[in-house]
Amino acid sequence: MIIVFNWLGSRSFELDDYRWRIWHYFFGLWSLYFIGTLIYGAVNILGDVILYKVMGDETLSYLIINFVFCISVAVHLIIYLVKNYKQSIHRS
């Protein structure tokens, strides 16, 4: 879903048409759901790390990669949503 949403964003950039259609909303919401599940899992792992006071290098690298990935997908979604909003205002 994130790959398809990224492809939709790249295609919109190529065509210079940022209007969202049903597919954009579908894959955007699905991406938000996926980000939510990743953050939920990371918070549970972080809670166990704090509770047991044990953090390995693998756990730390997983948490860092997870949060960077979630932030980058969320930023892409927000930027694309803002471009859609700006273009819909100019067309109205």
Provide the domain limits for residue 29: 2-91
Spatial neighbors of 81 by CB under 8 A, at least 6 apart, are: 20, 28
Spatial neighbors of 34 by CB under 8 A, at least 6 apart, are: 1, 2, 73
DSSP character at residue 21: -
pLDDT 10s digit of each residue in the chain, 92 long?
Answer: 888 888 888 888 888 888 888 988 999 999 999 999 999 999 999 999 999 989 899 999 999 999 999 999 999 999 998 988 988 888 76
Domains in the chain: how many in total? Answer: 1
DSSP character at residue 30: H
pLDDT attached to residue 70? 95
Tokens for 65, please give them: 């990669």
